[in-house]
Structure 1
Amino acid sequence: MEKTTQKSCTEINLPPGSVIVSGESTPQLGSVTFPQTKSVDILSPYVEAYYNAKDNSLTATAVVYVDDTTIQNGTFYYSVFQNSYIDIAGAPQLQFFIVYDMPEELSVNFGIYEITFQADATIFSGGLSNVESIQTFLWDADPITSRGTETTVQHG
C-alpha cells in the first residue's frame, strides 16, 4: 500500500492577492524541446492583454511553457491569483500569478498551453480603464519560484 501525504499550508507557498481562477485545466497545444537547457528555472510566459470599454473588462491570454513532467494525463492544472499595488508614482498596478506545482528537475521537453482569464474589477480599486500594463508571472507553489513579464494593455 502506497502512503499518500497531503501538503500543509506552510509547505505550499501562494502568491499575493486573491484567487480569480481556481483548479482550472487546459489541454496541450503543442510541445517544444530546448536540448541545451542547463537550468531548472521556469520559462517566462508570453502574454497579451486587452481592455474592452464596452463591458469594462480586461482579458489576458498567456502562452506558458510547462515542464512535461508536471502534466497529469495530458492536462495542465493551474490557478490564477490577482494582486494590485501602488507604484512609486502613486498609480495602481495589476499583477497576475499563474500558479502550479513544478518539479525542481532539469527538463528539456515543455508542453505549450494557452490560458485566458479576466481581471476582477471588484478587487482592483484603480479602474480597469486606467491600466496601461500588467505583470504576469508563472509561480511554482512548492517552493517559491516565479518568472514573469510586463505586458502593455491594448485598449479597444
Structure 2
Amino acid sequence: MCAQTIQRICTPITPPGTIINPENPKIKATPLLCGNEKFTFSLGSPSREQLPPLIKAVYTNTGGVAIEAMVFIDSSIPVTNFSVYQNYTTCSTGAPQLTLYICPFLADGNPPANPETDSYNLYPLNLGLKIQTPNGQLIRSIQIFLWNEDPETSRGTVTTVPPPTE
C-alpha cells in the first residue's frame, strides 16, 4: 500500500457544514451527575448503535436559538470534548432546517470507537446560536446527530422550533 493510500485511510471523516465557534471549537464534555457520581443507566441488550440525542430548541428575544441537548455516550468511553458542526438544509416539506452534528472526542483528540454497550452516561449540551439562513427565513426544525464516522451507526432526531413570539 502506498503512503498516499495509508494517509487517506487514517484521515478522520468530518461531518458536513461548518464548525460552530471556530475560535474555540472544543466544548468541554461534562457528564450529568447524580450526587458525586456520573448518572449512568442501562438500556436493553448490548448494541453497537448509538442512541440519538434528545433536543429542545426555542427562539430567544435576541433572534438567536437556544438549544438544549442531552447526548448519550457509552459509559466506558472517557469523552473529554465535543465539537459541533452546523449545516443549513431543508426538511421534507421544503422548510428551512438546521442540522447539527455533535462529535465526541477523547483526551488524545481522536473520536472514540463505537463498542457494543447497554450502559450510557448523559452529557448535557447547551448552545446559543445566531441563525442566519441563506434566504433569511426562520428555521422551522433542527435535526441533530451524534456523529460517528460510520453512517450506519450515527443516530439523529428532529425537533420543531416554535416561531418567536412578538
**TM-score band, normalised by the shorter chain?**
0.7 to 0.9
Structure 1 Cα separation of the partners of residues 113 and 76 of structure 2: 7
Contact 2:55 2:70 in 1 (8 A): yes
Q: Are 2:119 and 1:109 equivalent residues in the alignment?
A: yes
Q: Percent of pairs identical after alignment?
A: 27
Deviations 1:30-70 (A, max 9, x none): 32332632311110111000112x31101211011111222
Equivalent residue number for residue 66 of structure 2? 59
Structure 1 Cα separation of the partners of residues 8 and 128 of structure 2: 29
How many residue pairs get aligned? The number is 143
Contact 2:85 2:102 in 1 (8 A): yes
Structure 2 Cα separation of the partners of residues 9 and 17 of structure 1: 21
> Which amino acid in the other structure matches residue 112 of structure 1?
L
Q: Are 2:36 and 1:33 equivalent residues in the alignment?
A: no
Deviations 1:129-154 (A, max 9, x none): x22211111102x4444111111113
Contact 1:12 1:143 in 2 (8 A): no
Local SS of the residue matching 1:127: coil
- RMSD of aligned alpha carbons: 2.4
Instruction: Return the offset for 1:87.
Output: 4.3
Which ranges in structure 1 are unaligned for 5 or more consecutive residues? 1-6
Equivalent residue number for residue 99 of structure 1? 103
Q: Are 2:57 and 1:85 equivalent residues in the alignment?
A: no
Structure 1 Cα separation of the partners of residues 140 and 59 of structure 2: 9
Which ranges in structure 2 are unaligned for 5 or more consecutive residues? 1-6, 34-38, 105-110
> Which amino acid in the other structure matches residue 25 of structure 1?
K
Contact 2:63 2:130 in 1 (8 A): no
